[in-house]
Chains A and B, each alone.
Chain A
Amino acid sequence: MGLIQSAIEKSGIPTVSITLLPHVTRRVQPPRALVVDRPLGYPLGAPYDAELQKRIVMAALALLLRPAADPLIVDFSETP
């Protein structure tokens, strides 16, 4: 995931990943990641919870507007 993300970012398209494993993500150092406090297998929150899924998607996409000169790792619970 980190490799593909890095390749896309390097090509000039901004990227953001969802992460369920922040300690791994801090080692991988992707351009941007949104930390979601859910079990593995549940990156966008919960099945059939469209509102939660949408909020997570928008919180992640909002990070694309922020520069990623260093890895930008943000906790979903701390997003507006």
Chain B
Amino acid sequence: MAKLSDLKFRDRIYMGTYRYRQLDWRPGTTLQKPLSQSQIAVVTTAAFFRPDQQPFDESIRGGDYSFREIPADTDLASLGTAHKSDAFDHAGIESDKNLALPLDRLRELAAEGSIGSVAPRHFSLMGSISAPGRLVKITAPEIVRRLSEDRVDGVLLTPV
């Protein structure tokens, strides 16, 4: 019990801290080259996962803060979705994953020359995270590290 309340306290502290951080992106940055030369990645909270990955766990207190890396050559039809929330209609993203993770569209845009290229790795999270401490402390820096490693130029984020 004491441990749980400690965690709750820590989470509260983190939440306070990270609410502040959330506003701390300013002054922001801008694409340094034309879209036609830019490498684009997608981060989605559609909770997609590959058949070789664990589904997300909705029973985790405060939300499942983990992420799944989705390589660019993933067959979208093979992805599962872990969202059980009845807050939204799942039919769309279950039938066409492009609705939230538009890898087919990015491939077409790259082939047309509208964007430079599709990043090698994309990222899926679950969202609905009420206690975002670990999301900000662990998950966000790791996603940022991989995006930087891939020299991604711009990121599209899609909720569901």
Q: Which residue of A lies closest to B125 (CB)?
A: A4
Cβ A8 vs Cβ B155 within 8 A: yes
Point out the residues of chain B lying under 8 angstroms from A60, CB to CB.
Answer: 156
Q: Which residue of A lies closest to B21 (CB)?
A: A6
Which of B23, B87, B93, B136 is the one whose CB lies under 8 Å from A29? B23
Q: Verify if B92 is at the interface (C-beta below 8 Å from A).
A: yes
Chain B 116-160 per-residue mask, 1 if CB under 8 angstroms from chain A, else 0:
000000000101000010011001110110011000111111111
CB-defined A-B contacts under 8 Å, sample of 12: A5-B157, A7-B144, A30-B25, A43-B99, A44-B100, A44-B158, A47-B93, A50-B104, A61-B154, A65-B30, A68-B28, A69-B26
On B, residues with C-beta under 8 Å from A are 18, 21-31, 35, 38, 40, 43, 45, 87-93, 95-96, 98-100, 102, 104-106, 108-109, 114-115, 125, 127, 132, 135-136, 139-141, 143-144, 147-148, 152-160
